[in-house]
Amino acid sequence: MESLNNQSDFVLTPQAAFESQAEVAMNWRLSTFEERASRLKNIRTWIKANQTQIRAALANDFGKPAAETDLSEVYPVISEINHCLKNLEKWMAPTSVSTPLTMLGTKGKLYFEPKGRSLIIAPWNYPFNLAIEPLISALAAGCTAIIKPSELTPHTAALLQKMISELFAPNEVAVIQGEIEVSQELLKLPFDHIFFTGSPSVGKIVMRAAAEHLTSVTLELGGKSPVIIDQNADLHDAAEKILWGKFVNCGQTCIAPDYILAHESVLAELMMELKLGLQKMYDTEYKGIEESADLARIVNKKHFDRLMDYLADAEHRGASIAFGGNSNAATHYIEPTILTNVDDSMKIMQEEIFGPLLPIRTFQKLDEAIDHINSKPKPLALYYFGNEKTRQQLVIAETSSGNAVINDCVLHYSHPNLPFGGVNNSGIGKAHGHFGFLEFSNQKGVLKQRIGMTTISMLRPPYGFRTKQLISSLIKWF
């Protein structure tokens, strides 16, 4: 099938879009660096030319400030493209591996072939970034893709449809919009790879569907990412970093600090720094945080109600609101809120918050904080604030998380040479840069043997005395 000129010429049902990409996926197996780079450059050019439209879509979907859109939606995508363009030719090249003595005469290489037709299911919280970044990895690896954007952010979904239709034919890359039924239809298809970003509960559904076709998956999930603030932390520095990581996108970030475990000796000073920091970031003119142009809103009524239920439940069970607590249902506004006296009986300590509510618990010994984290499902990220290297290493060694950051929050997402992803309940597989390229690639091992006599020739039947001695030597010495 030849490339179609316009997506409007093609009925984008899940089945039809999937079938249309079969031939292109085969052809793209032989795509060159220049061809793949051209696709990435076209995306970069479109984004830069349409940045105003991207800002408008995010503002319409949940009141995202333009600067925050540039920082968290546009910049990461542009940065990812630039990193790929700089390194892709090297990533694509076959890589030689060393030859052991038992394989003398052979040569081994790794070839990186595209997996083929891929499905990208994007979430609503960063609806542009988390749809396009996986696409960059797919295109870098030489895969075709179908993108299913979130129906909860319709303006961004429409923008993605427009963007992809202007850059690709549907038998190369397609956007298919719709409700949950569309996702279910897509998941019935035998894709070569699925990249899903969302909650652990839906991730399990995706994985079950993928298992029907033994399709490989990358699951970027979530969980309750903890922050440990140790007794020797720089509290002013920690507070500012935590506040930005927590309240950017109004807390609707998978790697946002979910709750704080603070050493009991620093709680009073920490609370003061957090309150001053919130005032500095969102209410410099003392008009109230609701008037701030720099705070996004909750995406819809369902999530607004969910968060207000968490807050009410926590108060009912004895939590104290140390700061915030105000809301406006009409605009889905929830004030950045800090809670103390929380415990595990509360919903806010059981479920991923995904909003501007920040609970704080205290500990006396670092082991208590570590034990608390280890009693929960493994988080997507873990943050530690403290200046003693031995205690830093203790936390890293004795806890498990997708990523960990010392003396900062969220920043690891933007590091081009670090893998991004979870572990177990918080995710499977890694993304970004070379790691994203590998997710969409089959790492095919190729061995080339010489013709004629080889080291293996001496180990073939009949298994006489000499052959048995050689086999025994192999076991003993190698």
H or E element at residue 75 = helix 75-92
Contact 25, 144 (CB under 8 A): yes
Q: Residue 463 pLDDT more than 60?
A: yes
Given this model, what pLDDT does residue 459 score? 85
Identify the structural domains of the chain with CATH numbers, from first to last: 7-221+430-442 (3.40.605.10), 226-418 (3.40.309.10)
Closest C-alpha among 355, 311, 318, 314 to residue 333: 355
Q: Residue 5 pLDDT more than 90?
A: no
For strand 107-114 and strand 95-97, is the pairing parallel, antiparallel, or unpaired? Answer: antiparallel
Separation of alpha carbons 50 and 174, rounded Å = 19
| Residues 6 or more apart whose Cβ sits within 8 Å of residue 36 | 88, 92, 139, 140, 142
What percent of the chain has a predicted confidence (pLDDT) above 90? 91
Q: Residue 11 pLDDT more than 90?
A: no
Q: Residues 361-390: what's their mean pLDDT?
A: 97
Q: Residue 10 pLDDT more than 70?
A: no
Given this model, what pLDDT does residue 473 score? 87
Contact 113, 441 (CB under 8 A): yes
Q: Residue 454 pLDDT more than 90?
A: no
Given this model, what pLDDT does residue 258 score? 98
| Residues 6 or more apart whose Cβ sits within 8 Å of residue 245 | 253, 255, 256, 257, 383, 408, 409, 410
Alpha helix (H) ranges present in 188-320? 200-211, 235-247, 267-282, 301-316
pLDDT band at 9 (very low <50, low <70, confident <90, very high): very low
Contact 337, 324 (CB under 8 A): yes
Helices 51-62 and 154-167: crossing angle, nearest 10°? 150
143-174: b (≥16 Cβ within 10 Å) or e: bbbbbbbbebbbbbbebbbbbbbeebbbbbbb
Given this model, what pLDDT does residue 151 score? 96
Q: Residue 2 pLDDT more than 50?
A: no
Calculate the average pLDDT of the chain.
95
Given this model, what pLDDT does residue 104 score? 87
Q: Residue 186 pLDDT more than 50?
A: yes
State the CB neighbour count (10 A cutoff) for residue 12: 18
Among 112-116, 146-150, 234-238, 467-471, name the one with the lowest average pLDDT.
467-471
Separation of alpha carbons 245 and 253, rounded Å = 9
Residues with a known catalytic role = 220
Q: Residues 110-123: what's their mean pLDDT?
A: 98
Separation of alpha carbons 118 and 24, rounded Å = 12
**Can you give the pTM of this predicted structure?**
0.94
Identify the residue whose tokens are 């009925």.
11
Given this model, what pLDDT does residue 8 score? 47
92 to 95, 110, 212, 310: CA distances (angstroms): 9, 10, 30, 48
Q: Residue 277 pLDDT more than 70?
A: yes
Give the tens place of pLDDT for each residue, 141-166: 999 999 999 999 999 999 999 999 99
Alpha helix (H) ranges present in 21-64? 22-27, 33-49, 51-62
Give the tens place of pLDDT for each residue, 377-401: 999 999 999 999 999 999 999 999 9
Alpha helix (H) ranges present in 361-448? 366-374, 389-398, 433-439
Given this model, what pLDDT does residue 3 score? 41
Given this model, what pLDDT does residue 475 score? 87
Give the tens place of pLDDT for each residue, 325-355: 999 999 999 999 999 999 999 999 999 999 9
Closest C-alpha among 373, 380, 384 to residue 423: 380
Given this model, what pLDDT does residue 1 score? 34
